[in-house]
Amino acid sequence: MTIEFSERIERVTPSATVAISNAASELEAEGVDVVDLSVGEPDFPTPENVIEAGKDAIDAGHTGYAPSPGVPELREAIAEKLRADDLDYGSENVLVTPGGKQALYELFQTLVDDGDEVVVLDPAWVSYEAMTKLAGGSLSRVDLAPHDFALEPALEDLAETVSDDTSLLVVNSPSNPTGSVYSDVALEGVRDLAVEHDITVISDEIYKEITYGTEATSLGSLAGMGERTITLNGFSKAYSMTGWRLGYFAGPEEVVDQAGKLHSHSVTCATHFVQYAGIEALRNTDEAVTEMRDAFEQRRDLLCDRFAEHGIDVPEPDGAFYLMLPVGEGGDDEDDQEWCERAIEEAHVATVPGSAFGTPGYARLSYAASAERLEEAVDRLAENGLL
């Protein structure tokens, strides 16, 4: 028989970042030593006290379903964290999900109808496009690449793109894939446009805790934004908890109620005992988070310095653990795809083409790898004529 697939699922392709990291794993399985700079995953273990809290929660019998929107103590701990970031949320504004990705998926399904316009800032994290398509929305993109990935100089372009017909704007600071942290002036510009055109905004702050010498302002803390902003965060990046699958969003209570319907009919709840590990992560990991952040900063400096030695000027990221390396000659689609293919096949260095993020002419490198491996990656790229 022929299985008929939904038109909806035919609209999307698998995640480019996941596909590349699978290709790297396949090469590794063949015995090839690959420096994998394609993954968005901290290379540190989950802090020990967080692991213990998860184990204790299993021992305490938290192995059944949790309340669908999350364990009350975790929802309160999240609201407390958000209030410390100047966001006016109570536990009733928080929905706990299995990973930030699931929170975003639920939000797109809840907020976007067929034909609705969703605006993203390019280069944009790969899943925003897929989630827009799955919800039936149409994507408009504002390119930050001509401005070294800063938002402030692109505000005019954003103003030309958004209109009263825009349903949703997605802002991600610090950004994946650029590492840019948007200035307060830029965020105020976003605020003015969102208020003028009555646009709902998702502020994806999953890298908020990872910044270097600056802080990422929460968009929802700006005057006029609380009622229209949904703040997204999770535990994967700041606490090195990718495999635990724990994330959340916070926003107006009606958004929690509406998205909560999809949540209850799909995942039911985030894993019960994992939520207790989340409470520990929020309350007792300041030192571990600082150590990881300092290590990322040193690696960023190392990579930028090494590329500068090869005459390549990389826009220095202020946050997250990614940078965009300019590659190829003409900056067209084929250049960056071809460069990344050569990087993995010839130099055995895995990276992600910028075109996967809507911005050809670059490769995204994750520096969630040891200094030694980063040095090795630069050496191999240079030896293979890729720098």
Applying CB under 6 A, the residues found at the interface with ligand PLP are 40, 99-101, 125, 172, 176, 204, 206, 234, 236, 242, 247
Q: Which of 343, 192, 73 lies closest to 353, judged by CA?
A: 343
The span from the CA of 122 to the CA of 101, in Å, is 19
SS3 label, residue 169: strand
Nearest approach in angstroms of CB 100 to ligand PLP is: 3
Nearest approach in angstroms of CB 278 to ligand PLP is: 11
Nearest approach in angstroms of CB 135 to ligand PLP is: 16
- Name the residue nearer to ligand PLP (CB basis): 259 or 381: 259
Nearest approach in angstroms of CB 21 to ligand PLP is: 11
- Name the residue nearer to ligand PLP (CB basis): 44 or 375: 44
What are the C-alpha distances in Å from 260 to residues 65, 68, 142, 255, 377?
15, 8, 31, 8, 44
Contacts (Cβ under 8 Å, ≥6 apart) of 51: 45, 277
Nearest approach in angstroms of CB 10 to ligand PLP is: 24
The span from the CA of 6 to the CA of 133, in Å, is 13
Tokens linked to 99: 């990973």
Tokens linked to 113: 């109808």
Q: Can you give the three-state secondary structure of 116-163, one letter per residue? A: CEEEEEECCCHHHHHHHHHHCCEEEEEECHHHCCCCHHHHHHHHHHCC
Residue whose structure tokens are 């055109």: 197
- Name the residue nearer to ligand PLP (CB basis): 39 or 347: 39
- Name the residue nearer to ligand PLP (CB basis): 98 or 328: 98
- Name the residue nearer to ligand PLP (CB basis): 204 or 209: 204
Nearest approach in angstroms of CB 267 to ligand PLP is: 12
Q: With the C-alpha atoms ordered 142, 201, 135, 98, is the resulting torsion angle positive or negative?
A: positive
- Name the residue nearer to ligand PLP (CB basis): 89 or 125: 125
The span from the CA of 185 to the CA of 193, in Å, is 13
DSSP state of 35: E
- Name the residue nearer to ligand PLP (CB basis): 18 or 382: 18
- Name the residue nearer to ligand PLP (CB basis): 98 or 326: 98
Nearest approach in angstroms of CB 56 to ligand PLP is: 23
The span from the CA of 104 to the CA of 176, in Å, is 15
SS3 label, residue 210: coil
Contact (CB, 8 A) for 101 and 309: no
Nearest approach in angstroms of CB 162 to ligand PLP is: 21
Nearest approach in angstroms of CB 127 to ligand PLP is: 7
Contact (CB, 8 A) for 86 and 313: no
Q: Which of 131, 21, 130 lies closest to 364, judged by CA?
A: 21
DSSP state of 319: B
SS3 label, residue 365: strand
- Name the residue nearer to ligand PLP (CB basis): 162 or 206: 206
Nearest approach in angstroms of CB 239 to ligand PLP is: 11
β-sheet bridge partners, residue 323: 365
- Name the residue nearer to ligand PLP (CB basis): 233 or 355: 233
